[in-house]
Amino acid sequence: MDFKKAAQLASCISKNYAEDMFRLLTTYQSISASEAASRLNLHIRTVQDFLGELYEQDILSREEVYEGKRPYFRYTLIAERIVIDIDLVKFRKEGEIIHEEAGVKIREKKNSDARFTTSRSNDYISHVVIWQGEGRSRTERKINLSIPQGRFMFHLPFPTAQALTISEIMHKAGLDGAHMPEIADIIRVLIGFGVIEEVKFA
């Protein structure tokens, strides 16, 4: 299931009236928003939105009914179970794909205006402070690094040095492949802040 879709569904079923709504939907053959609203003593707009979201999630079907002047929808429950299934491993793979498969080398960006604080043991960076904005609106953003991330940053090539692939830097830092996802994550963040630059090679 797409993460965004799962988040919408989770948000929908987390409403305090959701259980009552599902009880109605399982009891009635089909039900309109006004019927459900009057039954649960809710505002019709609230119920319309809720049913609309379930329809978009393919949990309900709807039929447009013409009674009198204004058409309206009658909703029917078509799903017997709701399963939220998110593949978390996919995120990890996305991180690896961005940098390893795209054939990208990285190094620190020149004049990045970031401040690096080294750990007491002097073998990893404990946090990076980045300045954002100009003048009075200038703000400080501090990013605390995990120890593998800090080790990676410690061995990141300097701005004028030859850029290296992530694997090469991880090797220098003595990190194994298990740390790749968190390394890829911090790289993405620091590229976004202009602290790391990607150097494309042929």
Q: Which residues bind other proteins (CB under 8 A)?
A: 108, 110, 112, 115-116, 118, 120-123, 125, 153-161, 172
Is the CB of 95 or the CB of 157 nearer to other proteins? 157
Greatest Cα-to-Cα distance within the chain, rounded to the nearest angstrom: 79
Is the CB of 45 or the CB of 171 nearer to other proteins? 171
Is the CB of 105 or the CB of 155 nearer to other proteins? 155
Q: Which ranges of the chain does DSSP label H, i.e. alpha helix? A: 3-13, 18-27, 33-40, 44-56, 89-96, 147-154, 166-173, 180-192
Closest separation in Å from C-beta 118 to other proteins: 5
Instruction: Fill in the DSSP letter of residue 105.
Output: E
Is the CB of 103 or the CB of 159 nearer to other proteins? 159
- Rounded Cα distance between 185 and 94, Å, is 10
- Rounded Cα distance between 101 and 23, Å, is 49
Closest separation in Å from C-beta 114 to other proteins: 8
Closest separation in Å from C-beta 120 to other proteins: 8
- Rounded Cα distance between 5 and 199, Å, is 35
Q: What is the 3-state secondary structure (H, E, C) of 39-90?
A: HHCCCHHHHHHHHHHHHHCCCEEEEEEECCCCEEEEEEECCCCCCCCCCCHH
Residue 119 CB partners (closer than 8 Å, separation 6+): 125, 126, 150
- Rounded Cα distance between 17 and 140, Å, is 42
Closest separation in Å from C-beta 167 to other proteins: 17
Is the CB of 29 or the CB of 122 nearer to other proteins? 122
| Half-sphere exposure in the Cβ direction for 43 (13 Å, CA) | 3
Closest separation in Å from C-beta 83 to other proteins: 48
Is the CB of 48 or the CB of 126 nearer to other proteins? 126
Closest separation in Å from C-beta 110 to other proteins: 5
